[in-house]
Amino acid sequence: MPGLKAFRPIKIEQGSPAQWALRIAGFAAIVYLALSPFFRNLKANEYGQLTDIAIFALAATSLNLLVGFTGQISIGHSAFFGLGAYTTAILIHTHGWSPGWTFPIAALLCFTVGVMVGIPALRLTGVYLSLVTLALAQLFPALVRKFDDLTGGSRGIQGLRYNPPSWTGLSHSTLDQRIWLYAVSLFFLLIGYIVVRNLVKSRVGRAMVAVRDNTTAAAVMGVHVAVVKTVTFGISAALAGLAGCVFVLRQTQANPDNVNYTILGAIIFLVIMVIGGTASMLGPVVGAIVYYRVDQFTRDLPTKDYLPGWMKDFLKDRPNLATVVFATLLILLMFVAPFGIVGLAKRIGRRFVLVIPRPPVKGGAAAAPPVEEALEAIPATPFETAATSQPTQGGP
């Protein structure tokens, strides 16, 4: 359209007061959305839904650190998710631990297992690494059933509760417990975001991106590829384990039949990351919100009053149709936003506001843009990473 072609975006200099004002406004909006449920009269199940979204966002954030920023494709994060959940469940049920003290133990155990898995996977990239992690996801539920004396086997572990501490002023009612669990899930999501953001903005983050883009070139430039891969794998596993800890308390039980402990759970985390946008800090959060709400909408379709009677009768007793509808919407989203919702929002935003890099400093090198912005400007998906990463002979 002629009007749109004639439109010129507003140019803002990087680091200027205008850009900081935009950042503060965005930060204030996020804080409002996260904290507003505490000041609203929500039902217990609504707080439970918000808790699930925060848990999914944390699990996808852990996967995004590994896939989006380091280029290691994993389809086995459901195993770390389940390991964290069962660690919390066993320590509470068998040893009488307070739930709060189980979180650091579960994170440390998942970090150790993640490093152990990452070491033999050093020579693998792309589809070969994904097959190894796929086997890990397949193995975890079988191990839970095998060691039934410890894990409860197919029966699982029941009666897990995390009552609000006295200093919160909350009671032990169902509503107050849901409010407390939402606060806990929000806290760990914030912890996960800060950990990933600080890693990405540091020299380690630049090394991670270098490994993702070209492993051989990164090694030539002095990056210790083995350390970067194994440590990133461990940190990612620890964050996934923390998400599992909160999830098992939300479910009040640990059962190996739960889909989030299986391969399907790992695929769900991957889908959430892709929907929001890989190599983006807010991508997993946006992806978790969209995935959960769309999945909930498609499952509730047969009960919608605005649907005609013949459509209700057609949808009734056909739960698989909800999955078909969700898959169709996901395919359409990938056509419209191949780099995720956050990538689409950035592309649209650049048509209205354009951030101009700082001019070169006199007598010195140009001021480099923040690492986070530079990394988020690089579109990357797990599929692109797999296509560009080739296994090398005699790798580290």
| pLDDT digit string, tens, across residues 100-152 | 999 999 999 999 999 998 887 777 777 788 888 888 999 999 999 999 999 99
The pLDDT score that the predictor gives to residue 379 is 45
- pLDDT tier at 2, thresholds 50, 70, 90: low
Mean pLDDT of 210-230: 88
Nearest C-alpha neighbor of 3 from the set 351, 348, 347: 351
The pLDDT score that the predictor gives to residue 290 is 92
The pLDDT score that the predictor gives to residue 106 is 97
The pLDDT score that the predictor gives to residue 12 is 85
Which one has a higher pLDDT value, 81 or 390? Answer: 81
Nearest C-alpha neighbor of 356 from the set 6, 10, 17, 22: 10
CA triple 288-291-295, angle to 5 deg:
140
**Distances 383 to 127, 193, 261 between C-alpha atoms, Å:** 10, 24, 24
In residues, how long is the chain? 396
Predicted confidence (pLDDT) at residue 292 exceeds the cutoff of 60:
yes
Mean pLDDT of 249-264: 93
Mean pLDDT of 51-76: 93
- pLDDT tier at 360, thresholds 50, 70, 90: low
The pLDDT score that the predictor gives to residue 352 is 87
Predicted confidence (pLDDT) at residue 374 exceeds the cutoff of 50:
no
The pLDDT score that the predictor gives to residue 318 is 66
Whole-prediction pTM: 0.86
Distance, CA of 27 to CA of 11 (rounded, Å): 21
Mean pLDDT of 32-56: 95
The pLDDT score that the predictor gives to residue 62 is 95
Predicted confidence (pLDDT) at residue 89 exceeds the cutoff of 60:
yes
